Structure 1
Amino acid sequence: MTIQAKICGLSDVTAVEAAVLNGAAFVGFVFYGPSPRNITPDEAALLTAKVPSHVKKVGLFVDPDEKLIRDVLTTVSLDWIQLHGSESPERVREIRDTYSLPVIKAIKIDSAASLDEIARYDGVADMLLFDAKEPKSMKNALPGGNGLAFDWDLLANATISSPWMLAGGLTAENIAEAVRISGAKIVDTSSGVEFEPGRKNPAAIEAFMAAVAAIDA
């Protein structure tokens, strides 16, 4: 089984090169002001110019308005739009249809009850992404990239017809177990390959991708 990986929250050339060189299938760029990983469309255009066509470029948005999406897409050539906020199924469909790009919709998981959200978006989004739901007690929590994992067993027997991606606190050390338990075929990391929020560690990217390749082997 070939496991694909996405490295998200990239903000400098060295990190992009590390992701591409080590075999990432997807690279993610954040367009969300409060995030330490946020970049401008102009910055993203420079970074995506370094990405070969076989690696898919993903723009992450959180409840975006039309101006932000248009500003990004006018400047940056993206392959996917990722929605990581509270977008409704109707909004997901609208964005997908308006911009003629496939959409990844994030679903936050903290309990079995969270899985009820799958039915709302399954078949509406082109791909689902499962991330840990931030606890209400967590200060300065972001919509994603908090370094939190959830109970991967919750996904083991879930009914999901769309392709899906596993995120949430994934590192080189836990990725093999996460894949074994959840059955994920696509995995996504951001905080798990950083020196600190917003600053990627190329060596950690290399280690993560090596751990993913070892699962395949």
Structure 2
Amino acid sequence: MAAQTAIDNDADLLGFIYFSKSPRHLPIDSAHALMQQARQHASMRANKVNLVSVVVNPDNELLDHIGRELKPDFIQLHGHETPERVADIRARLNVPLIKAISVSSKDDVTAARAYEPLVAHMLFDAKPPKDAALPGGVGAKFDWTLMEGYKGSAPWFLAGGLDPWNVADAIITAKAPMVDVSSGVERGPGLKDASLISNFLKAVKGI
């Protein structure tokens, strides 16, 4: 499976998406089984991998369900969650948070400052097209030079339109300490490709 390929190629984190509009959406029961398999495979290979539950504007019921049933290492908030909502989620769950920010201008990067005290990591993704049904994972990228000068309080992720052929340039240009990928390692919406995953991670680790 894709998770095993990622673990075999030394991925540090694996994301599992709970958003019904996404082609990558997983019901909780399916996610639980896949996460268990990923943990077992990582343990057999003595690899440390963190599992991330990705949600979009989640209500408390979903958050409680995820925290209770899946016990993820991180929860990634990929919607329009305000700093106040993020603070509420942080107080509710004993799980480190990752907050995604949609970027199209320097002001968007600056807006991350309000979230930094509340989360373990920030993630900077491209702002999706106006007619997009998804908040991310659409293959759009932004001007990586907008990250120039950004020094977060914790290591941050660069996302948005990354693939095995451009990720090295993206890391160098944005000076990104970490990267996130989804559609860039797929052969179709929601269909992860083992060779693309392997090549992406080799490109990242080769820098």
Distance, in Å, in 1 between the alignment partners of 2:117 and 2:79 is 18
Q: Tell me the CA shift for residue 129 of structure 1.
A: 0.2
Q: Matches of 1:93 and 1:113 in 2, distance apart?
A: 22
Q: 1:144 aligns with which of 120, 136, 140?
A: 136
Using the TM superposition, give the Cα deviation of residue 183 of structure 1 relative to its aligned residue in structure 2, in angstroms.
0.6
Q: Report Cα offsets for 1:62-108 as digits up to 9, x if no partner.
A: 00001111222222120000000011111112112211110000011
- CA-atom RMSD in angstroms: 1.2
Contact 2:21-2:133 at 8 Å conserved across structures = no
Report the counterpart of residue 8 of structure 1 in structure 2.
none
Q: Which residue of 2 aligns with 1:60?
A: 54
Matched, 1:33 2:20: yes
Aligned-residue offset at 1:158: 2.2
Question: Residues 43-54 of structure 1: matches in 2 within 5 Å?
Answer: 43-51=30-38, 52=42, 54=48
Counterpart of 1:35, as a letter, is S
Of 68, 77, 87, the residue aligned with 1:83 is 77
Point out where structure 1 has 5 or more consecutive residues left out of the alignment. Answer: 1-13
Equivalent residues, number: 200
More helix by share: 2
Q: TM-score, normalised by structure 2?
A: 0.93
Give 2:185's aligned residue.
193
Map Cα deviations across residues 146-199 of structure 1 (whole Å, 9 max, x no partner): 101101101021242232111101111001100101111111000000011111
1:153 aligns with 2:120: no
- Gap runs ≥5 in structure 2: none
| TM-score normalised to structure 1 length | 0.88
* Maintained 8 Å contact 1:175/1:212: yes
User: 2:11 and 2:139 mapped to 1: Cα distance?
Assistant: 19
Q: Deviations over 1:28-80 (max 9, x none)?
A: 00011111100011101111112236200000010000111122222212000
Q: Is the CA contact 2:103–2:124 (under 8 Å) kept in the aligned structure 1?
A: yes
Distance of 1:178 and 1:116 partners within structure 2: 19
Instruction: Report which structure shows greater RCO (CA 8 Å, sep ≥6).
Output: 1
SS of the residue aligned with 2:140?
coil
- Read off the aligned partner of 1:207 and give its amino acid letter: N
Q: 1:181 to 1:47 in 2, by over 3 A?
A: same
Cα distance in 2, alignment partners of residues 184 and 206 from structure 1: 20
Aligned partner letter, 1:104: I
Q: Distance in 2 between matches of 1:100 and 1:124?
A: 12
Query: Is the deviation greater in 110-119 or in 171-180?
Result: 110-119
**Could you tell me which residue of structure 2 aligns to residue 105 of structure 1?**
99
Is the contact made by 1:123 and 1:162 (CA closer than 8 Å) also made in structure 2? no
Between the aligned residues of both structures, percent identity stands at 41
Which deviates further from its counterpart, 120-129 or 19-28?
A: 120-129
What one-letter code is carried by the residue in structure 2 that aligns with 1:106? Answer: A
